[in-house]
Amino acid sequence: MHRMKGRIQFKGEGNRMTVHRYDPASLHADEFINHDEILETLAFAQAHKDDVGLCREILKKAESHLAPAKDHCAVITHREAAVLLACDDAGINEEIRRLAHRIKLAYYGNRIVLFAPLYLSNYCVNGCLYCPYHAENRDIPRHRLTQDEVRAEVVALQDMGHKRLAIEAGEDPVHSPIDYILECMRTIYSIKHENGAIRRVNVNIAATTVEEYRMLKEAEIGTYILFQETYNRERYEELHPTGPKSDYCWHTEAHDRAMEGGIDDVGLGVLFGLEGYAYEFTGLIMHAEHLEAVHGVGPHTISVPRVKPAMDIDPDAFDNGIPDDVFDKIIALIRIAVPYTGMIISTRESRSVRERALRYGISQISGGSRTSVGGYTQEDRPHDTEQFDVSDQRTLDEVVAWLMDNDHIPSFCTACYRAGRTGDRFMQFCKGGQILNYCHPNALMTLMEYLVDYATPATKEKGEAMVRRELLKIPNEATRARTERYLSDIAGGRGNDFRF
Ligand code: SAM
Q: What secondary structure does DSSP assign to 53-111, as a single string?
A: HHHHHHHHHHGGGGS--SS-S-SS-HHHHHHHHH---HHHHHHHHHHHHHHHHHHHTTE
Number of residues assigned to the chain: 500
Alpha-carbon dihedral of residues 278, 312, 354, 61, nearest 10 degrees? Answer: 20
Task: Sheet containing 16-20: give its strands across.
Answer: 2-5, 8-13, 16-20
Averaged confidence pLDDT in the chain: 91
25 contacts 223 by C-beta, under 8 angstroms: no
Locate the ligand 1 atom nearest the alpha carbon of residue 126 and give its number.
4
The predicted-structure confidence for 276-309, as pLDDT tens digits, reads as follows 999 999 999 999 999 999 999 999 999 999 998 8
Q: Give CA angle at 204 (202, 207), nearest 5°.
A: 125
What 3-state DSSP class applies to 222? strand
Does residue 348 carry a pLDDT above 90? no
Alpha carbon of 2 to ligand 1 centroid (Å): 27
DSSP character for 301? Answer: E
Locate the ligand 1 atom nearest the alpha carbon of residue 171 and give its number.
1
Task: Name the pLDDT band for 7 (thresholds 50, 70, 90).
Answer: very low
Ligand 1 pocket, residue 271 CB under 6 Å: yes
Instruction: Give burial (CB, 10 Å; 0-12/13-18/19+) of 285.
Output: buried
Percent pLDDT > 70 in the chain is 93
Do strands 2-5 and 8-13 pair parallel, antiparallel, or not at all (unpaired)? antiparallel
Does residue 3 carry a pLDDT above 50? no
The predicted-structure confidence for 24-74, as pLDDT tens digits, reads as follows 999 999 999 999 999 999 999 999 999 999 999 999 999 987 876 655 566
Ligand 1 pocket, residue 308 CB under 6 Å: yes
Residue 74: the pLDDT is 65
Does residue 392 carry a pLDDT above 90? no
User: What is the CB neighbour count within 10 angstroms for residue 305?
Assistant: 18
Ligand 1 pocket, residue 455 CB under 6 Å: no
pTM: 0.94
Do strands 265-269 and 200-204 pair parallel, antiparallel, or not at all (unpaired)? unpaired
Out of 6-10, 187-191, 345-349, 477-481, least confident range:
6-10
Does residue 8 carry a pLDDT above 50? no
Q: What is the best residue among 120, 124, 130, 131 to mutate for testing ligand 1's pocket, by most ligand atoms within 8 Å of CB?
A: 131
Task: Name the pLDDT band for 407 (thresholds 50, 70, 90).
Answer: very high
